[in-house]
């Protein structure tokens, strides 16, 4: 409603100025040529209808005006072709904001509106062509052109919007459909209209798809995606470790081979990322980064100092959270242990922390007990 408000305000001002100019002109003609009343009536009847056009609205608007237009308490009405009167100017009984909202022209008509920018995460349901076109009131979904029922078969289907378009709005272009990728891991190209093709191209490389929200079952359907998820979780953990090391600048530069959002947030992908996962490209890059980062951590004393020692076996091997194949973490204190060593009994570090906290509480409560005694 607000997107064409500035056009409406300009139209209102121009209509007001033209009406005032015409009233002033009539008054001057009446004063200079008092015998031209008949001519004045004819001219007035011709000019009482003012036609205005603006972008986004092709309808004809007839502004009913009279000699009383300059009166401050007159409400003007905009008479449309559908015989609906809409107030466009008024006195202090209605605010300017309300006038603009009432006057603002909606995109399209009562039976048709052009497609809007929207991201669709689902697959369009399958319906009969005749039913879909009938629901469109036999209008092209893109431009609103009236279609005769005998020409229904010439309309072209857009797999993204689930609507039919004329050949002017749909030339047979194809694109990957996000809904089919997120639900079926289907990267085939389907016919789309010009509007959908431009929309999908504009969001192709934007990280808009949080898989845990819009495609919860996709990891179980796509093995390639599950493998990359494991590598991604390891890389996120490794990067946190490398950021704390002042000697890891060269290794961190290699992480720029992956899009930044894949290392900053889990499960967030663009369509371009998902198709690279399907082709195995991202997994190859992630494995190479893993090897380079692990090689640095193995020889870096600063990184080794941030590792963990298994408190069950007290071995010399330094453990890190990203080593998912050999170590596990305590859910409470987040300490790392060997998978084979970790048992259901209480975590040694948690027990040590609890004992320390209890001792600290006893120390803090000791002066209070002495004071009361």
CATH code for position 168: 3.30.40.10
Answer yes or no: is 357 within a domain. Answer: no
> 272 and 182, same structural domain?
no
Answer yes or no: is 366 within a domain. Answer: no
347: how many CB neighbours lie within 10 A of its CB? 21
> 10 and 72, same structural domain?
yes
Alpha-carbon distance values, 249 to 242, 246, 254, 255, 259 (Å): 8, 7, 9, 10, 18
pLDDT tens, position by position, 283-335? 999 999 999 999 998 888 888 888 887 877 777 778 888 877 778 777 778 77
Domain finish residue from 306, 333, 359: 306
152: how many CB neighbours lie within 10 A of its CB? 15
> 334 and 302, same structural domain?
no
Lowest mean pLDDT among 114-123, 132-141, 193-202, 356-365: 356-365
Higher pLDDT, 104 or 220: 220
Higher pLDDT, 147 or 75: 147
The pLDDT of residue 371 is above 50 = no
**Range with top average pLDDT, 5-14, 63-72, 270-279:** 270-279
Higher pLDDT, 92 or 357: 357
Q: Distance of alpha carbon 184 from its chain centroid, rounded?
A: 21
Question: Which residue in the block uniquely carries the two structure tokens 């229904």?
Answer: 152
The gap between the terminal CA atoms of the chain, to the nearest Å, is 76
288: how many CB neighbours lie within 10 A of its CB? 12
Q: Distance of alpha carbon 76 from its chain centroid, rounded?
A: 40
Going by pLDDT thresholds of 50, 70 and 90, the confidence category of residue 40 is: very low
> 195 and 184, same structural domain?
yes
145: how many CB neighbours lie within 10 A of its CB? 14
> 312 and 288, same structural domain?
no
> 12 and 69, same structural domain?
yes
Output the six-digit token pair for 71.
Answer: 């009166």
Backbone phi and psi for residue 255, each to the nearest 5 degrees, phi listed first: -70, -15
> 221 and 189, same structural domain?
no
Picking from 284, 291, 296, the residue whose alpha carbon sits closest to that of residue 241 is 296
Answer yes or no: is 110 within a domain. Answer: no
Going by pLDDT thresholds of 50, 70 and 90, the confidence category of residue 68 is: very low
Which parts of the chain fold into alpha helices (H)? 5-32, 37-47, 96-103, 129-135, 178-184, 194-202, 211-214, 218-221, 223-243, 249-254, 260-264, 271-279, 281-299, 301-304, 348-372
Backbone phi and psi for residue 177, each to the nearest 5 degrees, phi listed first: -100, 120
User: What does the buried/exposed string (b/e) look like for 46-78 if buried means 16 or more CB atoms within 10 Å of the residue's CB?
Assistant: eeeebebeeeebeeebebebeeebeeeeeebbb
Domain finish residue from 154, 169, 203: 203
What's the whole-number mean pLDDT along residues 89-102?
A: 54
pLDDT tens, position by position, 129-146? 999 999 999 999 999 889
Q: Under a CB-based contact definition with an 8 Å cutoff, are residues 253 and 260 in contact?
A: no
Residue 269 belongs to domain spanning: 214-306
- pLDDT for 169 equals 93
Domain count, the chain: 4
What's the whole-number mean pLDDT along residues 45-61?
A: 38
> 169 and 223, same structural domain?
no
Q: Cα(302)–Cα(95) distance, rounded to whole angstroms?
A: 68
The pLDDT of residue 271 is above 50 = yes
Output the six-digit token pair for 156.
Answer: 């072209």
User: What does the buried/exposed string (b/e) look like for 239-252 if buried means 16 or more CB atoms within 10 Å of the residue's CB?
Assistant: bebbeebeebeebe
Domain finish residue from 280, 306, 332: 306
Please name the residues in contact with 212: beta carbons below 8 A apart, sequence gap of 6 or more.
267
What's the whole-number mean pLDDT along residues 32-52?
A: 47
């Amino acid at each position: 409603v607000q997107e064409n408000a500035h056009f409406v305000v300009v139209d209102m001002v121009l209509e007001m100025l033209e009406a005032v100019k015409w009233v002033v002109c009539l008054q001057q003609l009446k004063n200079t040529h008092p015998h031209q009343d008949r001519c004045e009536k004819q001219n007035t009847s011709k000019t009482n209808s003012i036609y205005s056009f603006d972008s986004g609205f092709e309808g004809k608007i007839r502004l009913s005006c009279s000699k009383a237009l300059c009166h401050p308490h007159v409400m003007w009405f905009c008479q449309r072709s559908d015989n609906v009167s809409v107030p466009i100017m008024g006195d202090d009984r209605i605010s300017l904001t309300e006038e603009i909202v009432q006057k603002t022209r909606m995109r399209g008509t009562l039976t048709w509106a052009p497609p809007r920018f929207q991201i669709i995460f689902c697959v369009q349901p399958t319906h009969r062509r005749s039913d879909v076109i009938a629901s469109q009131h036999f209008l092209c979904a893109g431009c609103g052109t009236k279609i005769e029922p005998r020409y229904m078969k010439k309309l072209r289907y857009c797999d993204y919007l689930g609507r039919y378009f004329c050949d002017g709005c749909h030339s047979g272009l194809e694109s990957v459909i996000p809904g089919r990728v997120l639900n079926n891991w289907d990267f085939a190209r389907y016919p789309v209209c010009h509007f959908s093709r431009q929309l999908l191209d504009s969001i192709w490389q934007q990280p808009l798809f949080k898989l845990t929200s819009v495609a919860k079952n996709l990891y179980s359907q796509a093995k390639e995606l599950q493998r990359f998820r494991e590598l991604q979780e390891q890389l996120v953990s490794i990067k946190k470790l490398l950021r704390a090391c002042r000697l890891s600048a060269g290794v961190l530069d290699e992480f720029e081979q992956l899009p930044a959002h894949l290392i900053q947030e889990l499960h967030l992908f663009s369509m371009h990322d998902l198709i690279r996962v399907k082709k195995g490209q991202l997994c190859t890059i992630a494995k190479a980064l893993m090897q380079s980062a692990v090689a640095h951590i193995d020889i870096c004393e600063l990184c080794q100092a941030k590792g963990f020692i298994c408190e069950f076996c007290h071995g010399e091997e330094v453990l890190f959270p990203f080593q998912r194949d050999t170590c596990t973490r305590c859910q409470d204190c987040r300490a790392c242990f060997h998978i084979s060593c970790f048992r259901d009994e209480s975590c040694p570090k948690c027990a040590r922390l609890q004992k320390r906290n209890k001792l600290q509480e006893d120390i803090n409560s000791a002066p209070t007990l002495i004071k009361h005694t």
